[in-house]
């Protein structure tokens, strides 16, 4: 009978390759785009690729060998990638950034499209990366690490007070930021609905229906991404302690993390394709309206801004 570690290692390799492929597609498609929303998506995908690479070049080979092929310091280093800095950027930091980006685009559509001399999005993302890296430094202390265990074929904190405390801290942070992000997204949905009602008199019916579909997709995407990262953190911190079976530890520690980042890449790829193509072929507002041409153009700009900046 094939040992479980071989099966687990193979699953990690396949999921990691899928993760890198999907998120790599997002990076290649959005890298040169100027919109802040797409820049945030690129940073999210970069973090996802880092996580998948750590699984591919460390966790999977160690599982195949049933041992560590490099000193313990490398186990600690890769643990910072999977459990700390890139994880924070992949999950709570970019999720709340995306939510804020949508909220600003909806609340201030005219100023949002203006060219700014200061690259605020780049500064924000650079600051978040610095914060994520600084937050990961305490885990480099001996006895505070988040590492890969060969026997359970999973990542988890070491059995020390320091490590458990840091892990619980990250979990609470993810939960709080997920609630904030979800609240912002709900507020954005309400504003979009109100705006749609106000613009219905000067919009073509087909365009209005298209906007409704995009709002539903955007809301589903937001909920999925917020919930999956929160669930993954809960599995890695609490649920894995419920059952000591190797396959259960593996699902909570490895399959969960890779599934979330792979799903991220898939969602961003799908929604990016569906948000750009229709926007190029939108039907213009009906000419039968008696409202002035200036008002029609102004309303169209507001509608276009909401559609293109709030849908992934």
Q: pLDDT tens across 193-215, in order?
A: 776 666 544 444 555 566 556 55
Beta strand 154-157 with 146-149 is antiparallel
d(CA 46, CA 38): 12
Beta-bridge partners for 156: 147
Q: pLDDT tens across 139-173, in order?
A: 888 888 888 988 878 887 888 888 888 878 877 88
Q: Which residues contact 42 (CB under 8 A, 6 or more apart)?
A: 26, 27, 30, 31
Please name each of the domains of the chain with its CATH number. Answer: 4-309 (1.20.1070.10)
* Residue-averaged pLDDT of the chain: 78
Range 82-100 average pLDDT? 88
d(CA 183, CA 178): 8
Q: What are the C-alpha distances in Å from 177 to residues 109, 131, 172, 180?
A: 25, 15, 9, 5
CA angle 96, 85, 275 (to 5 degrees): 40
Q: Which residues contact 23 (CB under 8 A, 6 or more apart)?
A: 45, 46, 48, 49, 52, 261, 264, 265, 268
Residue 258, pLDDT score: 92
With a cut of 50, say whether residue 245 has pLDDT above it: yes
Q: pLDDT tens across 32-67, in order?
A: 877 788 888 899 999 999 999 999 999 999 999 999
Nearest to 95 by CA among 233, 222, 188: 222
Q: Which residues contact 158 (CB under 8 A, 6 or more apart)?
A: 143, 144, 145, 146, 147
Tell me whether residue 61 is exposed, middle or buried, using C-beta atoms within 10 angstroms of its C-beta: 0 to 12, 13 to 18, 19 or more. middle
Residue 103, pLDDT score: 79
For 220-246, b where at least 16 C-beta lie within 10 A, e where not — what string? ebbeebbebbbbbbbbbbeebeeeeee
d(CA 163, CA 149): 14
């Amino acid at each position: 009978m094939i040992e479980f570690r071989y099966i687990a290692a193979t699953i990690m390799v396949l999921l990691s390759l899928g993760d890198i492929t999907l998120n790599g597609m997002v990076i290649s498609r959005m890298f040169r785009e100027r919109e802040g929303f797409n820049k945030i998506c690129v940073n999210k995908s970069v973090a996802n690729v880092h996580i998948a690479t750590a699984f591919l070049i460390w966790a999977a080979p160690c599982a195949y060998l049933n041992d560590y092929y490099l000193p313990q310091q490398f186990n600690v280093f890769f643990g910072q990638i999977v459990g700390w800095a890139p994880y924070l950027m992949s999950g709570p930091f970019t999720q709340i950034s995306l939510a804020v980006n949508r909220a600003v685009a909806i609340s201030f559509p005219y100023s949002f499209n203006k060219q700014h001399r200061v690259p605020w999005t780049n500064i924000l993302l650079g600051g978040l990366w610095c914060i994520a890296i600084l937050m990961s430094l305490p885990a480099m202390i001996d006895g505070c690490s988040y590492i890969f265990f060969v026997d359970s074929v999973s990542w988890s904190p070491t059995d020390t007070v320091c490590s458990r405390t840091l892990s619980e801290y990250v979990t609470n942070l993810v939960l709080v930021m997920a609630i904030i992000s979800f609240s912002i997204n709900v507020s954005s949905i309400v504003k979009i609905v109100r705006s749609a009602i106000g613009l219905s008199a000067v919009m073509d019916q087909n365009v209005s229906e298209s906007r409704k579909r995009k709002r539903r997709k955007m809301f589903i995407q937001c909920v999925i991404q917020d919930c999956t990262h929160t669930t993954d953190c809960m599995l890695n911190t609490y649920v894995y302690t419920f059952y000591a079976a190797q396959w259960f530890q593996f699902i909570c520690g490895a399959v969960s993390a890779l599934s979330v980042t792979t799903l991220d890449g898939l969602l961003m790829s799908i929604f990016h394709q569906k948000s750009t193509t229709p926007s190029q072929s939108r039907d213009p507002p009906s000419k039968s309206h008696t409202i002035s041409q200036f008002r029609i153009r102004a309303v169209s700009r507001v509608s276009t801004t909401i559609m293109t900046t709030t849908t992934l």
